[in-house]
């Protein structure tokens, strides 16, 4: 198994969720057990010696691999969800994304000062949702934050958007927006 094989197996869905967007569908690679194991191992290997205590997954596709990463790293899983989806007391951040505004939340007791956090999402595009997730995690005063994604979409400048966040960013694959 190789990263190049994974990239070939990501399905492109044109004009989703709106005209002009080339959606990168990862369900094709997470459905394959070999590719799923390979991705989880590759993503986790970068962080095995970093002392990760919690993996934060961003709704919704960040929920696919974040729990598996948490298990691989011997850490807990913490969901970041859209407004109104978490049952306990929350804190929230609103942000602008490619197609409008959104608000995400985290339980106010989900993380603490002893936590070393890995924030995971499937794709780093423009960086808006990841920047909001970083802001949420920072509000809970954690020790250290790392960021990883399965795919970084080259050409949307998400990584540059996060440069001032003072976090380590790692993505398993780089794919051109129109690739």
Question: Does residue 179 have an active-site annotation?
Answer: no
Residue 174 designated active-site: no
From 34, 96, 98, 176, the catalytic residue: 98
Instruction: Please give the C-alpha separations between residue 3 and each of 79, 150, 171, in angstroms, as whole numbers.
Output: 27, 10, 11
38-42 long-range Cβ contacts below 8 angstroms, 24+ apart? 38/1, 38/6, 39/6, 39/65, 39/150, 39/172, 40/65, 40/68, 40/69, 40/72, 41/72, 42/3, 42/172
Catalytic residue among 61, 81, 92, 159: 61
Judge whether 123 and 158 are in contact, CB under 8 Å: no
* Active site residues per annotation: 61, 98
């Amino acid at each position: 198994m190789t990263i190049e094989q994974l990239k070939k197996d990501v399905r492109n869905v044109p004009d989703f969720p709106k005209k002009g967007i080339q959606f990168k569908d990862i369900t094709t690679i997470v459905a394959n057990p070999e590719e799923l194991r390979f991705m989880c191992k590759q993503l986790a290997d970068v962080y095995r010696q970093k002392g990760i205590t919690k993996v934060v997954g961003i709704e919704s596709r960040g929920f696919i691999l974040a729990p598996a990463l948490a298990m691989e790293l011997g850490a807990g899983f913490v969901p970041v969800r859209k407004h109104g989806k978490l049952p306990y007391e929350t804190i929230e951040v609103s942000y602008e994304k490619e197609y409008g505004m959104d608000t995400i939340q985290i339980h106010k007791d989900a993380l603490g000062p002893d936590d070393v956090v890995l924030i995971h999402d499937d794709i780093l595009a423009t960086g808006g949702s990841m920047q909001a997730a970083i802001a949420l995690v920072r509000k809970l005063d954690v020790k250290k934050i790392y960021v990883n994604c399965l795919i970084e979409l080259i050409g949307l400048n998400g990584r540059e958007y996060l440069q001032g966040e003072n976090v380590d960013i790692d993505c398993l694959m780089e794919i051109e927006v129109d690739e």
